């Protein structure tokens, strides 16, 4: 009997699915798209209803030939790409290439790669959704028309090799506009006054109360003089602070929904410092399948590209059983919670969740890399918390008056942890307006602070009055998390595109990260200004969001893709023709300077070239003298280290030399250049002066001495830091190259040699025999140098579980386990 051919995108997914389907199926990977628009031409005929010319993706011909060969001898073809527009397009392109074989072609979709989900999908196969394909094709054509027709304009007017994109240019505009807000921001001074109050009888703790109103109006203290005047007026009233009103109530804090793609990217950026791209790469690995103990390859999470917060009833039922058993019935809500998805969400998908809540992070930890475990733990915790009861707080809000001044104090205490027993969502840096004075002085909403027992009318003792000066702060630059959040809120892009958007604006040198926050380069600002001037609609976030809505409507069958393409391109073609005539030519622009050309004496001008700004003689073409523009400290996009700081090096005498400082030989400023061995400082008077200064790499930490002796040459051993962590090395290196792991006080049960900590290529710490390769004994869990009191094994191991760190026996069949004490440092035994 002929086998059926199943085609998925990746080898990892193929391996996992193959295990579930059995011998009647052969599963192969297409390695993503097999056909696409060619790179070297527009390939869209706008005069013939946007007819497209697809070609086999370079490097995929061999893959396609192999798929075709297998399909010829197969009884049927099942296309099992991911359940989204891009996956549907992959299936459609494969079907177009394989339909000539006249074999039955089926489309199968599943939200999770588990045995039950995969087998159910194959039991009820469907057809390729032409509406999803139309929506993907429309997006692809829109992006091609915008990118391939605006980018040549930028090559002509700014510099060759740069590009514009329909969505990423709008994202860049957000970054540029925020930077302009920061530059235009003028700090305003304001003051706050806090009273430290207590009950006269000493019952309960002291507590702070902040001045809120004066004569019933909101308090405004713009200067120290005003603050001093208020303090002088309050000084004789210290014994007259009285509780004017008191409000006590119970506050509920509801759990957050399980992850959507954007929320996952935001939280991974906040808590794990993952980029959006890294988050999606690791999530893809968890989705496609991981080898987990006896279970074998299994997908640990549901599909990670989704904007839906929906959870299947089966998953909720499993979570409820788990929560009742692990945390108690009091943590279980009366009915499973239902979360509302965002506008336009694809409700056919589920939220990002573990495929089984019974696979706790601690149980699968030994099968995952450090990054996989961190992300899986985040997803697992968020999902479990989303199915639990709200947290409860007792809150107290008091207004205390002293003369015409009203102070406010608040406190809250948690009475029931609820979902916060498992998970609390991270927060972004708040965006405050210039007029929002006092925002940073407000008490944190969820701060745990107890107020003493208070009664209305009660007189309080004022222990002190503290004035504090503040200045309003500009809005913060975008982080990965806050930029993804902004894109989602404004409807720019979709879950599958956020990571690519953030990557493109950095790869194109339009923005750099400074302390983890996006800062536009000078090139990025110029590109945005030109595009806003000439294509205001394309760069309008509202228009871009409207186009995304149209694509959703095409997928839902509410709009015709061809009609929408004609509507868009009719206007775009007019904008394009106008821009060809009126776009400013940055290349031709010259900015005068007071620097004289050393060759002809004329003034130098600042011009734009392939690598940014440079100095050129105004007498060009008679004088062709050019040189690099000296770096400006704090400049965006000029030469330097990418963070607006001058690069520094050291001259032959060990003295520091900074970018912009005079050359020690001729006095002209030093500028940073890049060569085959990295950055260096060079004299701007080159080629007349050829002075260069190396920028040295940061010095490595000095070796750490130990009391151990090298068993090969007798020299002392030292602890060094290397690519795979800390290790013991002979102090006479490179004469003696003896190295070994740092012993942890436990001997190998096979050969008796000391065990030591090592790090794998993927960054995971493991423990292996120091006699390797003669002995290959290894452990993932850290050995503890004490015998097992139950079975007499020579050592125990430290295991990190959901309930905390446990000490247990590693011997199979022995169930000894206890709570752990804080472990000693790994290298303690090496120094003793």
Query: Which residues are known to be catalytic?
Result: 303
- Measure CA of the first residue to CA of the last residue in the chain; give whole Å: 69
Element (H, E) at 577: helix 561-582
Query: Helices in 424-558 by DSSP H: which ranges?
Result: 480-489, 498-507, 522-534, 541-555
Q: Are 830 and 743 in contact (CB under 8 A)?
A: yes
CB neighbourhood size of 218 (10 A): 9
User: Length of the chain, please?
Assistant: 832
CA angle 528, 533, 535 (to 5 degrees): 85
Strand ranges, E, within 640-687 = 648-650, 656-658, 670-675, 678-683
Of the candidates 832, 823, 825, 827, the one whose C-alpha atom is nearest the C-alpha of residue 742 is 827
Query: What residues contact 265, with CB distance under 8 A and at least 6 apart?
Result: 274, 276, 279, 280, 480, 481, 484, 498, 499
- Residues near 491 by beta carbon (within 8 Å), at least 6 away in sequence: 344, 541, 544, 545, 548, 549
Are 525 and 636 in contact by the 8 Å Cβ rule? The answer is yes
How do the residues of the chain divide into helix, strand and coil, expressed in percent and rounded to 5?
A: 30, 25, 40
Helix (H, G, I), strand (E, B) or coil at 392: strand
Distance CA(187)–CA(193), nearest Å, equals: 20
Element (H, E) at 135: helix 130-157
> Is residue 91 classed as helix, strand or coil in its secondary structure?
helix
- In angstroms, the CA 135 to CA 557 distance is 10
Element (H, E) at 566: helix 561-582
Task: Give CA–CA dist 57/62, Å, rounded.
Answer: 10
> Which helix (H) or strand (E) element contains residue 65?
helix 61-72
Per the structure block, which two tokens stand in for 573?
């073609």
Q: Pick the closest to residue 138 from 579, 556, 577, 490 (CA basis).
A: 556
Cα distance between residue 211 and residue 209, in whole Å: 7
Residue 246 buriedness (CB in 10 A; 0-12 / 13-18 / 19+): middle
CA–CA separation, 18 and 324 (whole Å): 35
DSSP structure string for 232-298: HHHGGGGGGEEEEEEEEEEEEEPPPPPB-HHHHHHHHHHHH---HHHHHHHHHHHHH-EEEGGGEEE
Is residue 704 within 8 Å of residue 713, measured between CB atoms? no
Q: Single out the residue of 269, 290, 370 nearest to residue 114, CA to CA.
A: 290
∠ CA 262-263-264 to the nearest 5 degrees?
90
């Amino acid at each position: 009997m002929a086998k059926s051919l199943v085609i998925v995108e990746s080898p990892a997914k193929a391996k996992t699915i193959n295990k579930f389907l059995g011998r009647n199926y052969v599963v192969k990977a297409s390695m993503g798209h097999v056909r696409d628009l060619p790179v070297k031409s527009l390939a869209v005929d706008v005069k013939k209803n946007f007819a497209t010319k697809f070609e086999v993706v370079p490097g995929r011909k061999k893959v396609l030939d192999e798929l075709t060969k297998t399909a010829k001898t197969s009884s049927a073809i099942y296309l099992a790409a991911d359940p989204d527009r891009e996956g549907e397009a992959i299936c459609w392109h494969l079907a177009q290439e394989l339909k000539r074989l006249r074999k039955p072609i089926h489309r199968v979709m599943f939200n999770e790669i588990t045995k039950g989900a995969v087998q159910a999908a194959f039991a009820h196969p469907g057809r390729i959704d032409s509406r999803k394909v139309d929506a993907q094709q429309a997006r692809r054509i829109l992006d091609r028309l915008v990118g391939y027709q605006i980018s040549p304009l930028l090559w002509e007017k700014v510099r060759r090799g740069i590009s514009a994109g329909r969505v990423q240019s709008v994202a860049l505009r957000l970054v540029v506009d925020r930077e302009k807000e920061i530059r235009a921001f003028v700090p305003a001074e304001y003051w706050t006054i806090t009273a430290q109050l207590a009950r006269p009888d000493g019952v309960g703790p002291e507590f702070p109360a902040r001045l809120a109103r004066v004569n019933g109006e909101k308090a405004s203290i713009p200067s120290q003089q005003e603050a001093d005047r208020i303090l002088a007026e309050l000084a004789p009233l210290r014994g007259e602070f009285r509780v004017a009103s008191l409000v006590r109530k119970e506050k509920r804090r509801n759990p957050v929904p399980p992850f959507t793609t954007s929320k996952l990217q935001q939280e991974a950026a906040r808590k794990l410092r993952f980029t959006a791209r890294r988050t999606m790469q690791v999530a893809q690995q968890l989705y496609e399948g991981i080898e987990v103990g006896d279970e074998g390859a299994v997908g640990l999470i549901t599909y990670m590209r989704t904007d839906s917060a929906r959870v299947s009833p089966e998953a909720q039922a499993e979570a409820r059983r788990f929560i009742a058993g692990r945390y108690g019935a009091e943590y279980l809500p009366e009915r499973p919670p239902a979360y509302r998805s965002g506008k336009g969400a694809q409700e056919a998908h589920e939220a990002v969740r573990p495929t089984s809540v019974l696979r706790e992070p601690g149980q699968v930890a030994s099968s995952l890399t450090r990054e996989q475990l961190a992300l899986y733990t985040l997803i697992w915790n968020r999902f479990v918390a989303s199915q639990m009861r709200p947290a409860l707080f007792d809150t107290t809000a008091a207004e205390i008056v002293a003369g015409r001044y009203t102070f406010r104090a608040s406190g809250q205490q948690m009475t029931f942890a609820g979902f916060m027993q498992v998970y609390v969502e991270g927060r972004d840096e708040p965006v405050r307006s210039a007029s929002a004075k006092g925002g940073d002085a407000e008490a944190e909403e969820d701060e745990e602070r107890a107020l003493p027992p208070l009664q209305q009318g009660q007189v309080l003792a004022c222990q002190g009055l503290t004035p504090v000066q503040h200045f309003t702060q500009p809005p913060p630059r975008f982080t990965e998390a806050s930029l993804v959040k902004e894109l989602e809120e404004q409807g720019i892009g979709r879950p599958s595109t956020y990571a690519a958007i953030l990557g493109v604006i950095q790869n194109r040198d339009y923005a750099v990260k400074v302390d983890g926050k996006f800062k536009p380069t000078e090139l990025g600002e110029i590109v945005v200004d030109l595009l806003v001037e000439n294509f205001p609609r394309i760069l309008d976030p509202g228009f871009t969001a409207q186009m995304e809505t149209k694509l959703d409507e095409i997928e839902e069958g509410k709009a015709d893709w061809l009609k929408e393409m004609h509507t868009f391109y009719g206007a775009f073609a007019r904008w394009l023709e106008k821009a060809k005539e009126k776009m400013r030519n940055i290349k031709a622009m010259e900015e005068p300077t007071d620097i004289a050309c050393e060759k002809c004496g004329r003034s130098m001008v600042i011009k734009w070239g392939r690598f940014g700004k440079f100095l050129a003689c105004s007498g060009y073409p008679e004088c062709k003298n050019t040189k690099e523009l000296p770096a400006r400290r704090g400049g965006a996009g000029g030469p330097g280290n990418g963070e607006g700081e001058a690069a520094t090096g050291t001259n032959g005498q060990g003295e520091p030399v900074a970018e912009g400082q005079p050359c020690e030989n001729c006095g002209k400023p030093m500028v940073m250049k890049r060569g085959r061995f990295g950055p260096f400082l060079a004299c701007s008077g080159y080629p007349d002066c050829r002075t260069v200064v190396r920028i040295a790499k940061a010095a490595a930490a000095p070796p750490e001495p130990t009391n151990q002796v090298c068993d090969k040459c007798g020299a002392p051993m030292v602890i060094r830091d290397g690519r795979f962590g800390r290790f013991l090395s002979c102090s006479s290196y490179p004469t003696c190259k003896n190295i070994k792991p740092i012993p942890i006080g436990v001997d190998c049960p096979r050969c008796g040699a000391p065990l030591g900590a090592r790090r794998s290529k993927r960054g995971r710490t493991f423990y292996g025999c120091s006699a390797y390769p003669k002995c290959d004994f290894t452990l993932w869990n850290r050995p503890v140098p004490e015998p097992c009191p139950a079975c007499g094994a020579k050592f125990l191991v430290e295991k990190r579980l959901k309930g905390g760190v446990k000490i247990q026996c590693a011997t199979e069949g022995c169930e000894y386990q206890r709570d752990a004490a804080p472990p000693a440092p790994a290298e303690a035994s090496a120094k003793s």
